[in-house]
A = this chain, B = another copy of it.
Amino acid sequence: MQQPANTPPARRRRKDGQARREAILDAALALFSGLGLHGASVEGIAERAGLSKTNLLYYFPSKEDLYVAVLRRVLDIWLDPLQALDADSAPAEALKDYIRAKLTLSRDAPQASRLFCLEIVQGAPLLRAELEGPLRALVEAKAAILRGWRAEGRIGAHDPHHLIVSIWAITQHYADFAVQVNAVTGRGLDDPEFFESVVASTQALILGGLGLRP
């Protein structure tokens, strides 16, 4: 079996390069989500990622390029859980799973949630196309599923758009407004007990609103 040292230089360098890019993207996410695009400095990101400012600019030619790269990565994670909402499942189970998946994301990737939030709040000049295209189409597809359930009398009457938006609002709020939630309740999603109580509460609220009982 070959040792790592035997790996051809070209390939090893490329792998290192990818790892370095990942490290930069991680550092950038941390600082952009905490300080905003203009509040974070390239130097600060570089320092956190363990390289020099000029060296960082070798990997990403400009600050904006880096920012867009981070944002793209975040968006990919973001669209994922809704995809799983399935017409064949029982409505209550499908919605409960979706709520749990979103809250899990808020717990495990709060920085991604916050960066997404910052970008949307400021008008999302970079993301608007993504929102009006793929996201809108995805929501439309899932709204159709909800309307189908409604037609079959399996859930109560409720505007599907508002339902989806409300689920987003609540689940993301626990990541984006974490400091406020913490100030008021003294706890956060990283506390397993609190996490489960939020999941249960949110599920109860949404299902109750649809006239379903968990």
Hey, which bits of chain A sit against chain B, CB under 8 A? 33-39, 114, 117-118, 120-124, 128, 131-132, 135-136, 139, 156, 158-159, 161-166, 168-170, 172-174, 176-177, 179-181, 183-185, 197-198, 201-202, 204-206, 208-211
Contact = CB atoms under 8 A, between A and B. Distances in A.
Contacts of A132: 183
A36 B34 contact: no
A165 to B, nearest CB: 6
A118 B33 CA distance: 10
Nearest to A185: B161
Number of copies: 2
Contact of A179 (B128, B165, B168): B128
A117 B34 contact: no
Contacts of A34: 122-123
Main SS class of interface, A: helix
Contact of A205 (B39, B128, B179, B209): B209
A162 B36 contact: no
Nearest to A138: B184
Given A166-B202, A173-B169, A180 B36 contact: no
Of A114, A136, A161, A197, chain B has the most CB atoms within 10 Å of the CB of A161
Nearest 8 pairs of A and B residues by beta carbon: A169-B173, A205-B209, A131-B183, A208-B209, A38-B38, A162-B201, A38-B39, A36-B36
15 contacts: A34-B123, A35-B122, A36-B36, A36-B118, A39-B122, A121-B177, A123-B179, A131-B179, A131-B180, A162-B197, A164-B184, A165-B170, A166-B201, A205-B205, A208-B208
A185 B168 CA distance: 14
A129 to B, nearest CB: 9
